[in-house]
Chains A and B, each alone.
Chain A
Amino acid sequence: MPTRYIVDHINISSEDFDGETVCVNFATGTYFGLNLTAGAILDFFSAPHTKDEALQFITAQFGVDKAHTQDDIDSFIDSLIKEKLLLTADDDAIAETKPADIPDDAKYEPPRFEIYTDLQELIMLDPVHDTDPEHGWPQRRADLDQ
């Protein structure tokens, strides 16, 4: 069964600004600026999905063929995983895809993001980032001990 991925909802927030997405990883203190395609992919992973499902989604939304986009999208998803924006989803997680908020006349551009790490010193805070979301500090998140 292909691996499904999901946004790290505990540590990640993102906001759309007229097609550009600003995203912050509070665990690492990294800010990201994403173009329209990249923002759409990140948004798609608000619910658990596979890489192939993301490819189908983007090709359908932008009316482009898989052959021209697969490498772009695979590579971009790998970058999201590397930057810890996406986590591996639990097997029993339910996928509820919300309708995409993409303008009808939007043109496909290869997904890309700019990474801003100069804010890390500011945003990296106390152990709150390592804590259990339900119980708070000092209960350490179980997944960090694995």
Chain B
Amino acid sequence: MVGRKDAQIWTSKVNQAGTPEIALPTASQFIVDSIDDATSFWAKHGGSEHHLKLGRARIILRLIGSAIGETVLPTLRHALADPDAASDAVIYAIDSQNTGFAGPPQDWPFETLSDQGRQRVHWTGPDGLALSSDESRGIWHLYDGAKQTGLYWIRAAQDLPFWEAASPLRHHIHWVSLQKDQGMLHAAVIAKGEAGAMLVGRGGSGKSTMTAAAMRQGWRSTGDDFVLVTNQPEPVSYPLYDMIKLSGMAENMFAEITASALNPQRRSDEKMLARMSDHANGAFVEALPIKAAFALTLTGKPQSRIGRTSSFQIVSAVAASSSVILRTGLKETFAFTSDMVRKLPCFRFEVGNDPLEALDVLDNFMGEI
């Protein structure tokens, strides 16, 4: 096995008293050492290098092993950029099973402090050290903000859950974005013309369905689920993943999208995944100014309605749902979202049972503001 010299300590046993038999490194040491090992592994073995431009963040992505590219690249192809431009961070992506690089540990060898102990985070600020792991699936995100270098470390590409390929590197993109005064927010942005409507709400609130309706009607979009946002001088959204996810009735309603599902053999609990760029006919755009924010609720009624709401509703919806997915940088995301909301009129959008009717209501409303 090549790679971490001390990989064995991460699977060390504890004695009968529950005490580790050897001294364990701190989380900070683990992050720094793992990234150093990946850097050395790249220097020795090489791989493929890709330059990504995601909003104002530029990332050099170094893939080690062929299998991991199929997970990471498809939804980020739109972001491939000029290799000569300066970068903000370097991320190494390694699939252990297919490269010989020591795999991520099966378990973090410290006490578990919650019943969610298989998913862990470490966070010392945007310019510090960060870690987000999902040990049950063998996915580790590590980042050294001071060195602007990270490691996306997976046990085996073929064992990844279906949604990982829909939003790869999300923690790294979040961390690099924070360093660039850019937010990675759980929201959709759609626009008929130049004025973008940001749609916010929890999963299942209708963001993707409204985006699918917008695509059918020839609107433009920077994303149905996650977008990158800059606030200066005014809020602007940028695309992150070239992907739309639909489930339930929306799969049947937008059959033209479902027909090109990337996961036609999906399980009943999997959402349908399709590339936005396959359907949007040039409407999956590089940037959209945001002119208003809408908190979505599904009413099941025949008619949709829009009315004023408080900043609180938008801030809490965006910051809370982004935080539960991104898991780190909670204060930074809350502050960023607040800055954005101060610059936007805020509305509640009660979406009825016909998304195309709801889109008409939104179209008329955006025309008035």
Query: At the interface, yes or no: A31 with Cβ under 8 Å from chain B?
Result: yes
**Residues in chain A near residue B319, CB distance under 8 A:** 24
Distance from A98 Cβ to chain B, minimum over Cβ atoms (Å): 17
A125 with B324: CB separation less than 8 A: yes
B122 with A137: CB separation less than 8 A: yes
B121 with A125: CB separation less than 8 A: yes
Q: Which residue numbers of B lie inside 8 Å of A, CB to CB?
A: 26-28, 108, 110-114, 116-117, 119-124, 129, 202, 310-312, 315-316, 319-321, 323-324, 327-328, 330-331, 334-335, 338, 341-342
Query: At the interface, yes or no: A103 with Cβ under 8 Å from chain B?
Result: no
- Within the assembled complex, what's the spacing in Å between the Cα atoms of A131 and B121? 10
Total interface residues on A, CB under 8 Å, equals 27
Task: Using A122-B202, A136-B27 as known contacts, say yes or no to A15 and B335 having CB atoms under 8 A apart.
Answer: yes
Main secondary structure of the interface of A (DSSP, over half): strand
Distance from A32 Cβ to chain B, minimum over Cβ atoms (Å): 9
**Residues in chain A near residue B334, CB distance under 8 A:** 13, 15, 24
**Could you list 4 further interchain pairs (A-B, Cβ under 8 angstroms) beyond the known A22-B312, A123-B320?**
A17-B342, A123-B330, A136-B28, A137-B122
Chain A residue nearest to B346 in the complex (CB): A17
Query: At the interface, yes or no: A33 with Cβ under 8 Å from chain B?
Result: yes
Task: Using A33-B310, A123-B323, A136-B129 as known contacts, say yes or no to A22 and B315 having CB atoms under 8 A apart.
Answer: yes
- Within the assembled complex, what's the spacing in Å between the Cα atoms of A29 and B321? 11
Query: At the interface, yes or no: A138 with Cβ under 8 Å from chain B?
Result: yes
Looking at B111, B120, B123, B323, the one whose CB has the most chain A CB atoms below 10 A away is B323
B311 with A135: CB separation less than 8 A: no
**Residues in chain B near residue A131, CB distance under 8 A:** 122
